[in-house]
Structure 1
């Protein structure tokens, strides 16, 4: 009886199901339309917010360039005519100056670099007001300052209306290190997420900053990068999760085209699953690495899966950069070759490096293992990150202080 009633539904049941299907179709269409509308609004808001941040960043860049190259007109352009600057005076007293007086301090030798190196740390926009933070390193002293700005939009143009600064104790170098990240958030052909190793980022960034070096993040597409292996039980990682400047930098990585290789003394490839995708085969990233290493005699470093970035680097004569060099990276012996994540990898780091005639080495699992071969420094796994950075700093500091 049940089978017969199911195979031959009554007319009343059929009409009820038809009405229900129509209502469901209408509801689905309405929800899709609403989602599309919300997505459009969100995209427009995001684009608008991004445009405002870019406008603020451009103003701060006028300040940075104007003050670094004695371009008083460019410096004045960043400020409102009535802007006030609150600076350190004699014996710790506050000194208030106007923009005309401040800009006059940069009238000598127009266009000549004066030793100030600055870069943007953070931008926050709220309607027609904004705040920004920048770091200024004075290479001749050396000294490091944090500048804070308050901005307002007047007739569609952002202007600085106030600035103050503080000086930091400790080491300060005008030298900077470029850290390469990936934009890939999903392993191709799978539903698995991919990301840049957060713990490696924290160890690298914090140690370089403690040593007084500037750090800039770059990725093939620029902008926000995916993060993986975040463990807030770890004190250092938890501190950086709540570090606004650090997280802002990861959300606003630069494109290779926005970076001048001559500004950096070293380049380091970060690990994480994302490092296997979109980095090694990116010509702009490769060009940066080769210019720093080959043309500027800078240093290259990589850790864990970040060593994938080294596999496609060829010197001017066509020789693989790693040829004949001792290198390491995450070895095949530690990979699960039957897993979906591994099958999505475009190549094996170990095998590709061996194909390039590198001397590949590895150490015990879960232990640091680092190879230093001239200006090339590599680490096997995330546990090696601190030692890789330490080796990088030893060479960099040796160049700055050759007598040591």
Structure 2
């Protein structure tokens, strides 16, 4: 095979229909297949169908930085529509041809791909798409249609790169073939496959052969320190502590929730709280750390993780933590949707040693145990 072909996998959708139908916050592209997110599995399976010279995956704005961190492929920030996401990715395509597919069509059929690639032998090739026929009688707007004339178009779709860029200039289209058709280009149709049915709703998983998620766990730690500052309220673990001093911080200074947030991010390999909520941003000035932790926890679930256990050690000479331990435990359990039995709160002094012993501030060490959401037991 001598043609230079790039691959673009569309994975920037928000999975609204899937999440709503399954009553779950986990986006379909983040279903774990073993220990791999679905978008990575689909990209890997597609990469085995041809020696692509470039491989791109589109990501939503909220997923972009995280996917960049963990993806073995080049990640492109998507747009508000599929067409805009595709335009963004096409800017980086240097190959003569481009194969575009959707993460929702996860069960790759290599034979279909080979039929698409064979179309490149046509001298006036512009676009090739797979299709399946309609098996049922079809009725539309008061009349029966000839079902043999109806084609259900699938992805992946293969296009001439420059022609596709031109076709997408005018407006948004639902796929590449409709854009090419609007430009007056010939579409080559090849036989598709039932394997390429879309994963749209939670019920579509009932009869799928997707491997279940790995049951392994991930343990990560977080650590944070804040100095005292007079005239500010003191907040630890999401509750206000009776104290004449608070913490010097850009946010509310809740050192407990900051350490816990870092532990959760560490379990995901998603950086640290400073990257997510930089202290250079006015947006987070005086921010409520409960809201910051809730954002991280919600995001973790949307990309396939669940928090299973947390263990926190608060190192403070002052204030005395013992009177507040139960309330802190209850606060964190509520924030993470965990039973109290899975939230451990410990406290210690440093025997008057160091900055803690000199009553200059508080340090917290947090450990979080994460695992993949076992979607197969929920959705099958």
Bin of the TM-score, shorter chain as denominator length: under 0.3
TM-score when scaled to structure 2? 0.27
| Highest RCO, 1 vs 2 (Cα 8 Å, sep ≥ 6) | 2
* Greater share of helix: 1
